[in-house]
Amino acid sequence: AGMMDCKTALMESDGDMDAAVDWLRKKGLSAAEKKAGRAAAEGLVGVAVDGK
């Protein structure tokens, strides 16, 4: 999370660090749910295998 997101989370939770972390997790999950329906039609995946 960015600095402003952390600041907002702390303000929303009245300075409670644990509640701020929960707030950020909920916000992150809602952002992930918005993107969940997208199809990954393009992209590139690279894999390197070391035989050691």
User: Which structural domain, as residue segments, surrounds residue 15?
Assistant: 3-30
What CA–CA distance (Å, rounded) separates 19 from 4? 16
Contact at 8 Å (CB) between 5 and 24?
A: yes
Handedness of CA 37, 38, 39, 43 (dihedral sign): negative
Q: How many Cα atoms are found within 13 Å in the side-chain-facing hemisphere of 46?
A: 1
Considering the domain boundaries, does residue 25 fall inside one?
Answer: yes
pLDDT of residue 13: 93
Q: What is the pLDDT along the chain (52 residues), one digit of tens a residue?
A: 688 888 999 999 999 999 999 998 888 877 777 777 888 889 999 999 998 7
Only one residue has tokens 């992930």, namely 32
pTM above 0.85, yes or no: no
Q: Which amino acid is at 25?
A: R
User: How many domains in the chain?
Assistant: 1
pLDDT of residue 1: 63
Considering the domain boundaries, does residue 38 fall inside one?
Answer: no
Considering the domain boundaries, does residue 45 fall inside one?
Answer: no
